[in-house]
């Protein structure tokens, strides 16, 4: 929270500076915009200003004064993100602190809202014979619209004003209201988004549709359905009016745009409502409208609907405002004592802040004194309290009003609703429950949606779900749920889904490139199910137009979607289509996408491409000689992906492409060459030895030439290819050593490579690959000196490489001189480590030391000296590292017979136990543990009897790392050296340990419980048991559960007879928790002691008898589970009499309905089956199998079934003899046979 606040403050400061800069009409503060590390940081603010200007088509009269209206401008940029985002069409573009999905999307991802949803398509398969309704969109339409728009498609001010004039006749009065056609040319394309040229295609292409005719592309989805509008026909897709060319838009509709919330409420004051929409923050004709106040008041919020982004923003700002509010005099009075303080006058020299920027942020004074208007009284005003919803609906978040607002006025016009609207409302309600409801509500709603999917129909369902999924403020969980809804609905609707395939795809495809893994998986699942439901033909027909879309984003997602279709329906089904696409003569985009589909198929399906490898390669091979460079590149990349997926098989399929690839590596340069090299690099490992060797030798000179390429992409590919080449069998070590290594090290082992994470990883990987071929000595010899390099990241990279190489190949090849250099370098790196928090250096040290083994001996004193010295430094990190190193090299030191040194270090560590930093303390305890483990209890210095009392107070430490290491150490001592410590000390520790049972980490709780066992063994169970039994009275459940486990462990380690009497005595305490605890301990006890239980079964039977007859459910449940463990333990040991007795008590519980109880009872009966034999249980079952009451029969059959599954064969001998019944003879004469 704190750093969020800090960020907000910083942002505000920036804004102030910004405004200041604007006022003094200095263009842009250079060091503010240029000097900051991330130059894009203020992108949002800039666009907001641009957008303000853009918005001015609406009110041209203001234009002259517009560009520098400092106040308005600062306000505009003050309310920041919302404006920036809405104006560029990207909801919440620069909003860093939000936690919605959009917040973490990259620039590329954000392009998806730009892609509007498409109207329903005509389903040629379902209605083949009928002519498509002119209102529905057919394949031909889709194709036509996808043509690259004419050159004039980039709308400029000039032709927009033309449009406006043309529409002027139709839409009177409201100049700023958009006409239908210009509303379809949504505001997005006005955004300065030249990077995405394809966006323009969503406009109405000027000229084609003409005038006020809404083009086919006019997109209902662009508009935000709101409560006010839900009622009209717009929400339902059925009426063709919306698509009709004679449709004259009413002013109300014209106003709707994506980012503008058309307000049904308060529309009498258009300016006011407009002001709450994002654009409204921009200076309008009356810039000092109340809505422009910097601090939005709650009243304002309640005034009209806002976009969800604004809600989040407001919520955030209000929070911060509240925190940063200056203290009033009254508050100060209450905080400070009355006496002893005096209120001073401000000194004469005090100057209140008068900087223009600050002043601008203060409440603006209107330019003229506004006349006071009596505010309209609104009793129904909801301040901040969410309205209680009718009909048990979950709470509505402000963002939801836009979609689910209609649910609020339920009941008011219930009777006027048409059946269609009823249905819609029903869907809406269910969706809302799925989105916001409790798990039960959600489950029920989801089930209902699924069951009634057919009844609701595809149209109404998807018309509600899809816009919701496009909502910018959706959270991960909500998206997941909606995706689930779609998935199930698709399954139910089956081929009814066809007209909506494209709509669904538009929504789902962006998820395919989401950063979140689960989002990607879900998207794949939906598309796969969709293709199964709609069929291949529909999928192809739907996605075909997108394949040669001008927008790269659309093509990319389409290619991915196609690969999912291929994995869902099988590659062979898609092959003919792919072939056609890849050979498309019409546009290179189609070929590019086709080939990309192949690449994606390879990536997605892995080795499953093998059966079709030949055909896939055949389909794309001609792309290598395509006239378009992009196509050549993607072809090579696809081949690389195919080879990677197929490895190590399938070389014969690549025969045809080897030559062109090979030639390509010789003739191309730059990116294309990189792609070709990658393809060659991935194909080489598939080859036979001699071919691989031949090709490697051929490709190496090119690689070496490209070593010096400045291109990052090329670098990565070269590294990858080198790795692939050197790891093939046909390449000899000598060749690599002399041919590659010198250049390789010269170009790649440079400091810059360590700075980029991906380069770093790839370089380490490649070097390790080379080392596997040429051996440790060569590689280590070349880089060992770099351990003393001055750049820390570089040292770390060297260290990581050495670690990996040594771990793979051992240190036997390292000669004496190298060994010296190595240890020296590592020690240097270790000491010099400053900024680095990773464990790379430590791991390296450990690996190298362990690999060298006894050869480390000469250096041990030096290393210990360093550890000692570092333990005394003032840097906590250094102390922690020293302790960590100690625990890592303890084994090697033992190997070098340096126990004396270790004991010495033990002393020093012991003295450091006063450490205040918990992380360091944890490491110190870890080091002590390592020493104790290796030196042993008797030889340990400081002696255990001194060490342990020092640990007792540390057990109180609540830090997880400290707790874990401490309990491990204490447990170790209790296990091995309990006799060195007086019993009283152990008791003290016992009390501390009880607290540890609360730990969150399971490892700690387990170690604690085991420690109880060790301690009990050392000092006898009585005292420990008394402590534990007392602990059963605590309230906290987890604590009690752990205690019961501990009791069982104590009983196990000290034999049950020492514990059982006390335990059974404690059962007489008339307290529920204690009794249940005892029963649970018994259950664990019998689980642990197994067949030892036969000696105790008669002793505890009376207790269990009582528990099984208790009124309390939990008693019976826990007793049943104790019976289960008991029965399983004593099976075959001759305790049947007691068990039958217990079974008689367990059996009546089969009619329990509580899930846990019935579960325990069933398990107890299963246990009895094992111990008593199935025939006994069968006889119990037979009473009720044909009982007249159905409820009884159900339960008995359930019991019978689990018996039957458990012991089917054994039952054969025990089945009852049935009488002859009419024609049916049930006797089994075979069993009566006798020889």
Q: What b/e string do you get for 221-257 counting C-beta neighbours within 10 Å, with b at 16 or more?
A: bbbbbbbbbbeeebbbbeeeebbeeebebeeebbbbb
491 binds other proteins (CB under 8 A): no
Region of 644-652, 750-758, 974-982, 1210-1218 interacting with other proteins (CB under 8 A): 1210-1218
642 binds other proteins (CB under 8 A): no
Region of 399-407, 578-586, 1127-1135, 1188-1196 interacting with other proteins (CB under 8 A): 1188-1196
Region of 50-58, 487-495, 1012-1020, 1213-1221 interacting with other proteins (CB under 8 A): 1213-1221
Smallest distance, other proteins to C-beta of residue 1209, A: 5
Region of 521-529, 651-659, 888-896, 1211-1219 interacting with other proteins (CB under 8 A): 1211-1219
Nearer CB in complex with other proteins: 394/698:
394
1193 binds other proteins (CB under 8 A): yes
451 binds other proteins (CB under 8 A): no
Smallest distance, other proteins to C-beta of residue 1186, A: 7
1205 binds other proteins (CB under 8 A): yes
Nearer CB in complex with other proteins: 521/1182:
1182
Nearest to 243 by CA among 252, 251, 234: 234
Report the chain's terminal Cα–Cα distance, integer Å: 87
Smallest distance, other proteins to C-beta of residue 1192, A: 9
Nearer CB in complex with other proteins: 518/1186:
1186
Please count the helices (runs of H) and the strands (runs of E) in the chain: 59, 0
- Output 917-921 pairs: Cβ under 8 A, ≥24 positions apart: 917/876, 917/879, 917/880, 918/957, 918/959, 918/961, 918/962, 919/876, 919/880, 919/959, 919/961, 920/876, 920/879, 920/880, 920/883, 921/954, 921/957, 921/959, 921/962
Nearest to 226 by CA among 400, 434, 396: 400
Smallest distance, other proteins to C-beta of residue 454, A: 22
Smallest distance, other proteins to C-beta of residue 1235, A: 5
Q: Which residues contact 120 (CB under 8 A, 6 or more apart)?
A: 136, 137, 237, 459, 499, 500, 503
# chain residues binding other proteins, by CB under 8 A: 38
Place of tokens 């040290």: 845
Nearer CB in complex with other proteins: 455/1209:
1209
Cα-flanking dihedrals φ and ψ of residue 1087, to 5°?
A: -65, -45
1190 binds other proteins (CB under 8 A): yes
1033 binds other proteins (CB under 8 A): no
835 binds other proteins (CB under 8 A): no
Cα-flanking dihedrals φ and ψ of residue 297, to 5°?
A: -95, 155
976 binds other proteins (CB under 8 A): no
1226 binds other proteins (CB under 8 A): yes
Q: What is the DSSP letter of 375?
A: P
Nearest to 869 by CA among 916, 913, 831: 831
Smallest distance, other proteins to C-beta of residue 573, A: 33
Q: Which residues contact 1150 (CB under 8 A, 6 or more apart)?
A: 1158, 1161, 1162, 1165, 1195, 1196, 1199
757 binds other proteins (CB under 8 A): no
Burial of 828 (0-12, 13-18, 19+ CB in 10 A): middle
Residues in the chain: 1235
Six-digit token pair at 504?
């669904």
In three-state secondary structure terms, 27 is coil
1151 binds other proteins (CB under 8 A): no
Q: Are 453 and 271 in contact (CB under 8 A)?
A: no
Residue spans of alpha helices (H) in 255-361:
270-276, 298-303, 308-324, 329-335, 356-361
Q: What b/e string do you get for 1124-1144 counting C-beta neighbours within 10 Å, with b at 16 or more?
A: bbbbbbbbeeebbebbeebbe
Smallest distance, other proteins to C-beta of residue 1217, A: 10
1228 binds other proteins (CB under 8 A): yes
Region of 39-47, 127-135, 870-878, 1189-1197 interacting with other proteins (CB under 8 A): 1189-1197
Region of 61-69, 563-571, 1016-1024, 1194-1202 interacting with other proteins (CB under 8 A): 1194-1202
1204 binds other proteins (CB under 8 A): yes
Region of 16-24, 725-733, 991-999, 1205-1213 interacting with other proteins (CB under 8 A): 1205-1213
Q: Crossing angle for the helix pair 840-852 and 816-832, nearest 10 degrees?
A: 150
488 binds other proteins (CB under 8 A): no
Smallest distance, other proteins to C-beta of residue 653, A: 43
Smallest distance, other proteins to C-beta of residue 446, A: 12
Q: How far apart are CA 184 and CA 387, in angstroms?
A: 35
Nearest to 1089 by CA among 1134, 1049, 1029, 1062: 1049
1185 binds other proteins (CB under 8 A): yes
Nearest to 803 by CA among 867, 846, 852, 754: 846
Six-digit token pair at 118?
């498409």
1159 binds other proteins (CB under 8 A): yes
Smallest distance, other proteins to C-beta of residue 444, A: 8
1224 binds other proteins (CB under 8 A): yes
238 binds other proteins (CB under 8 A): no
Nearer CB in complex with other proteins: 220/1116:
1116
In three-state secondary structure terms, 346 is coil
Helix, strand, coil percentages (3-state) for the chain, rounded to 5, are 70, 0, 30
71, 882, 1158, 1207: which one binds other proteins (CB under 8 A):
1158
Six-digit token pair at 532?
């199964």
Smallest distance, other proteins to C-beta of residue 1153, A: 7
Smallest distance, other proteins to C-beta of residue 1166, A: 11
Number of CB atoms found within 10 A of residue 476's CB = 14
Region of 673-681, 698-706, 831-839, 1199-1207 interacting with other proteins (CB under 8 A): 1199-1207
Six-digit token pair at 75?
């306000």
Q: What is the DSSP letter of 452?
A: T
Q: Which residues contact 1177 (CB under 8 A, 6 or more apart)?
A: 1165, 1168, 1169, 1199, 1203
Cis upstream peptide for 648 (omega within 30°): yes
Nearer CB in complex with other proteins: 755/1225:
1225
1211 binds other proteins (CB under 8 A): yes
Region of 108-116, 347-355, 490-498, 1192-1200 interacting with other proteins (CB under 8 A): 1192-1200
Smallest distance, other proteins to C-beta of residue 1162, A: 7
Smallest distance, other proteins to C-beta of residue 1156, A: 9
1234 binds other proteins (CB under 8 A): yes
Smallest distance, other proteins to C-beta of residue 190, A: 51
Nearer CB in complex with other proteins: 335/1205:
1205
1197 binds other proteins (CB under 8 A): yes
Nearest to 1098 by CA among 1124, 1119, 1062, 1126: 1126
In three-state secondary structure terms, 260 is strand
1162 binds other proteins (CB under 8 A): yes
Burial of 1069 (0-12, 13-18, 19+ CB in 10 A): middle
1016, 1153, 1172, 1183: which one binds other proteins (CB under 8 A):
1153
Smallest distance, other proteins to C-beta of residue 1115, A: 20
| Residues in contact with other proteins by the rule CB under 8 A | 440, 443-444, 1153, 1155, 1158-1159, 1162, 1185-1186, 1190, 1193-1194, 1197-1198, 1200-1202, 1204-1205, 1208-1209, 1211-1212, 1215, 1218, 1221-1226, 1228, 1230-1231, 1233-1235
């Amino acid at each position: 929270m704190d750093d969020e606040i800090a960020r907000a403050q910083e942002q505000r400061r920036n804004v102030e500076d910004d405004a200041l800069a604007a006022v003094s009409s200095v263009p842009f503060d250079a060091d503010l915009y240029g000097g900051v590390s991330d130059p894009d940081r203020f992108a949002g603010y800039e666009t907001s200003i641009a957008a303000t200007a853009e918005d001015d088509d609406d009110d041209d009269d203001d234009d002259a004064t517009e560009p520098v209206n400092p106040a308005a401008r600062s306000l505009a940029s003050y309310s920041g993100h919302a404006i920036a985002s809405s104006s560029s069409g990207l909801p919440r573009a620069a909003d860093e602190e939000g936690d919605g999905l959009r917040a973490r999307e990259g620039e590329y991802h954000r392009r998806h809202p730009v892609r509007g949803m498409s109207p329903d398509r005509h389903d040629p398969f379902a209605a083949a014979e009928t002519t498509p309704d002119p209102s529905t969109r057919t394949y031909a339409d889709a194709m036509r619209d996808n043509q690259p728009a004419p050159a004039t498609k980039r709308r400029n001010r000039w032709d927009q004003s033309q449009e406006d004039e043309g529409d002027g006749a139709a839409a009177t009065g409201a100049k700023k209201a958009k006409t239908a056609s210009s509303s379809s040319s949504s505001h997005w394309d006005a955004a300065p988004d030249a990077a995405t040229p394809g966006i323009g295609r969503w406009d109405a292409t000027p000229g084609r549709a003409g005038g006020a005719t809404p083009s086919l592309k006019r997109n209902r989805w662009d508009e935000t359905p709101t409560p006010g509008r839900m009622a009209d026909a717009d929400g339902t897709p059925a009426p063709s009016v919306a698509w009709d060319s004679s449709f004259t838009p009413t002013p109300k509709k014209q106003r709707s745009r994506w980012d503008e919330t058309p307000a049904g409420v308060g529309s009498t004051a258009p300016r006011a409502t407009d002001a709450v929409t994002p654009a409204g923050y921009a200076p309008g004709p009356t810039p000092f409208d109340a809505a422009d106040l910097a601090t939005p008041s709650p009243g304002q919020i309640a005034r009209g609907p806002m976009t969800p982004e604004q809600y989040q923003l407001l919520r955030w700002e209000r929070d911060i405002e509240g925190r940063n509010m200056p203290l009033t005099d009254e508050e100060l009075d209450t905080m400070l004592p009355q006496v002893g303080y005096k209120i001073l006058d401000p000194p004469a020299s005090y100057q209140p802040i008068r900087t223009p920027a600050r002043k601008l942020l203060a409440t603006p004074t209107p330019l003229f004194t506004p006349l006071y208007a009596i505010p309209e009284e609104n009793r129904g005003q909801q301040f901040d309290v969410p309205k209680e919803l009718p009909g048990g609906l979950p709470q509505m978040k402000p963002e939801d009003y836009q979609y689910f607002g209609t649910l609020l006025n339920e009941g008011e016009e219930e009777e006027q609703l048409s059946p269609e609207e009823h249905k819609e409302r029903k869907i809406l309600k269910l969706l809302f429950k799925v989105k916001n409801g409790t798990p039960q509500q959600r489950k029920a709603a989801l089930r209902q949606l699924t069951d009634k999917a057919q009844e609701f129909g595809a149209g109404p369902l998807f018309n509600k779900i899809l816009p919701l999924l496009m909502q910018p403020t959706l959270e991960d969980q909500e998206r997941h749920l909606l995706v689930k809804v779609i998935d199930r609905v698709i399954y139910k609707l089956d081929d009814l889904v066809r007209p909506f395939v494209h709509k669904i795809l538009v929504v789902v495809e962006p998820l395919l490139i989401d950063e979140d893994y689960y989002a990607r998986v879900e998207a794949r699942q939906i598309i796969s199910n969709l293709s199964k439901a709609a069929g291949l033909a529909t999928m192809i027909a739907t996605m075909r137009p997108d394949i040669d879309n001008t927008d790269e984003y659309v093509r990319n997602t389409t290619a991915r979607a196609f690969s999912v279709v291929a994995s869902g329906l099988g590659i062979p089904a898609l092959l003919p289509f792919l072939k056609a696409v890849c050979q498309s003569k019409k546009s290179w985009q189609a070929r590019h996408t086709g080939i990309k589909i192949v690449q994606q198929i390879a990536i997605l399906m892995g080795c499953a491409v093998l059966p079709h490898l030949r055909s896939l390669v055949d389909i794309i091979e001609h792309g290598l000689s395509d006239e378009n460079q992009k196509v050549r590149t993607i072809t090579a990349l696809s081949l690389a992906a195919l080879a990677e997926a197929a490895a190590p098989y399938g070389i014969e399929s690549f025969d045809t492409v080897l030559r062109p690839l090979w030639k390509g590596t010789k003739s191309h340069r730059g990116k294309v060459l990189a792609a070709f090299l990658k393809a060659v690099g991935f194909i080489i490992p598939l080859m036979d030895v001699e071919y691989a060797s031949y090709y490697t030798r051929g490709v190496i000179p090119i690689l070496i030439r490209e070593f010096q390429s400045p291109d990052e992409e090329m670098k990565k590919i070269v590294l990858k290819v080198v790795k692939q080449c050197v790891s093939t069998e046909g390449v000899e070590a000598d060749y690599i050593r002399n041919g590659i290594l010198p250049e390789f090290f010269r170009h790649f082992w440079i400091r810059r490579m360590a700075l980029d994470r991906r380069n770093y990883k790839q370089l380490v990987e490649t070097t390790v690959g080379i080392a596997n071929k040429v051996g440790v000595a060569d590689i280590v010899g070349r880089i060992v000196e770099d351990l003393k390099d001055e750049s820390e990241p570089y040292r770390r990279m060297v260290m990581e490489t050495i670690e990996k190489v040594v771990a793979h190949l051992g240190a036997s090849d390292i000669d004496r001189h190298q060994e010296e250099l190595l240890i020296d370098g590592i020690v240097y790196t270790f000491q010099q480590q400053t900024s680095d928090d990773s464990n790379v250096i430590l791991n390296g040290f450990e690996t190298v030391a362990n690999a060298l083994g006894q050869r480390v001996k000469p250096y041990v004193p030096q290393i210990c000296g360093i550890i000692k010295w570092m333990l005394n430094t003032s840097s906590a990190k250094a102390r922690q590292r020293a302790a960590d190193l100690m625990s890592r090299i303890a084994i090697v030191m033992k190997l070098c017979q340096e126990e004396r040194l270790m004991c010495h270090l033990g002393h020093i560590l012991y003295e450091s136990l006063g450490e205040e930093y918990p992380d360091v303390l944890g490491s110190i305890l870890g080091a002590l543990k390592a020493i104790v483990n290796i030196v042993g209890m008797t030889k340990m210095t400081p002696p255990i009897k001194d060490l342990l009392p020092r640990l007792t107070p540390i057990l109180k430490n609540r830090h997880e790392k400290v707790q874990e290491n401490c309990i491990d150490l204490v447990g170790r001592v209790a296990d091995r050296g309990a006799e060195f410590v007086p019993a009283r000390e152990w008791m003290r520790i016992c009390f501390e340990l009880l607290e540890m049972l609360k730990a969150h980490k399971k490892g700690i709780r387990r170690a604690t419980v085991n420690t109880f066992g060790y301690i009990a063994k050392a000092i006898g169970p009585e005292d420990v048991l008394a402590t534990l039994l007392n602990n059963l009275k605590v309230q906290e459940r987890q604590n009690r559960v752990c205690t019961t486990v501990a009791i069982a462990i104590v009983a196990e380690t000290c034999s049950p007879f020492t514990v059982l009497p006390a335990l059974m005595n404690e059962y007489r305490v008339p307290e529920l928790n204690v009794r249940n605890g005892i029963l649970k301990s018994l259950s664990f006890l019998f689980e642990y002691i197994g067949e030892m239980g036969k000696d105790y079964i008669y002793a505890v039977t009376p207790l269990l008898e009582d528990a099984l007859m208790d009124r309390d459910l939990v008693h019976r449940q826990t007793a049943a589970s104790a019976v289960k463990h008991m029965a399983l333990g004593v099976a075959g040991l001759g305790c049947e009499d007691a068990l039958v007795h217990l079974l008689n008590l367990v059996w009546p519980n089969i009619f329990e309905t509580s899930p846990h109880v019935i579960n325990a009872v069933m398990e107890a009966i299963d246990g009895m089956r094992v111990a008593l034999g199935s025939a006994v249980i069968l006889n119990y079952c037979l009473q009720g199998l044909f009982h007249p009451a159905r409820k009884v029969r159900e339960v008995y059959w359930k019991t019978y079934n689990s018996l039957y599954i458990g012991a089917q064969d054994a039952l054969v001998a025990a089945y009852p003899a049935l009488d002859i019944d009419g024609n049916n003879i049930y006797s089994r004469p075979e069993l009566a046979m006798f020889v």
